[in-house]
Structures are given as C-alpha cells and as structure tokens.
Amino acid sequence: MDYYGKLAPGYNELHKDEQLAKVRFVLKEIDLSRDTILDVGCGTALYSYLFRFYTGIDNSQGMLDQASAKVIHGEAENLPFEDKSFDVVISITAIHNFKDPKKAIQEMERVAKRKVIITLLKKSKNFNDILNELKGYRQIDQEKDLILVKG
C-alpha cells in the first residue's frame, strides 16, 4: 500500500480546513456555473462538491477509494485526456509529490482550455525547482502555499 493510501481513511479529517482555505481562492478564479474542472492529484476529492463539473485524477487508489466524486486512477505526467479537455485544471498541494513536476505541468497546460491553478507547498524540498518551471504564472502568497495561476 502506498503512503497516501495508508493516510486515506483519516485524510479529510486531518486536512479539510487547510485544503478548503486554498480552494476558496480557486473558486474566485473560475465560473462555477459553466467551467469544467480537472483536479490533478485530487486525493480524496474532499472539496469536489463545490464544483458543478468536476473530474479528479490521482495515483493513489486508497485515496480515490475515499472519494465520492467522479475520479480516475492515473498519473499527472500522462493525463488520459484530449488537448483542451477542461476549462480549468487545478492541482492543490500535490505537485511536490509528482514523479516529474515539469512533465506534469506540461500535461496540465495541454488539457486546459483557459486556466491552470497550482498550489505549491512552500516547505517542499523541490520548491525552487518547481517554481522555476512555473515562470509566467501569476503568484499569490498564502500562509503555507504559493498559489500560481496561468491564464
């Protein structure tokens, strides 16, 4: 079982408030009445209920088993969607866990029609490397994360 699969049963209780604070910003950046959302590294999809048209993808089956939303098992570096399949692609505090963040960013940009929103954990070991790959993104500082928006 993977690390996040082990955490999955208690993940929402542990991280709900923190994750919802980040998602509140995301909600300001989208049109809830029409935007299709892809959440890359969605985990348990704990905030999926806030979006009308939501799809999540994660590589931890244990996390996905806790979700009550439309989710699929997959890798951020190889998204199984056509180009420009979603209006907005989000990734909330997940990119530092991806095997190849640069490839994941390319994939998120490929499947996004209008906007990509990524939150990057400030204390992640690869923070500077990932931030370097996100040049051209608008930055919004938040307590534990940097929120980056393209589009």
CB 95, CB 120: distance < 8 Å: yes
CATH superfamily, domain 3-150, is Vaccinia Virus protein VP39 (3.40.50.150)
Count Cβ atoms below 10 Å from residue 138 Cβ, excluding itself: 12
Region of poorest pLDDT, from 4-8, 41-45, 87-91, 99-103: 4-8
Q: Give the integer Cα–Cα distance in Å for 72 and 33.
A: 23
pLDDT band at residue 1 using 50, 70 and 90 as cut-offs:
very low
Every domain of the chain and the residues it spans:
3-150
Judge whether residue 13 has pLDDT over 70: no
Residue with tokens 């570096």: 77
Supply the DSSP symbol for 59. Answer: S
- 3-state SS assignment for residue 121: strand
34-57 as b/e: b if 16+ CB within 10 A:
ebbbbbbbbbbbbbbeebeebbbb
Q: Give the integer Cα–Cα distance in Å for 97 and 84.
A: 24
Q: What is this structure's pTM? A: 0.87
What is the token pair recorded at 60? Answer: 């931890």
Name the β-bridge partners of 139: 148
Q: Which tens digit of pLDDT belongs to each residue from 105-148?
A: 999 999 999 999 999 999 999 999 999 999 999 998 877 889 99
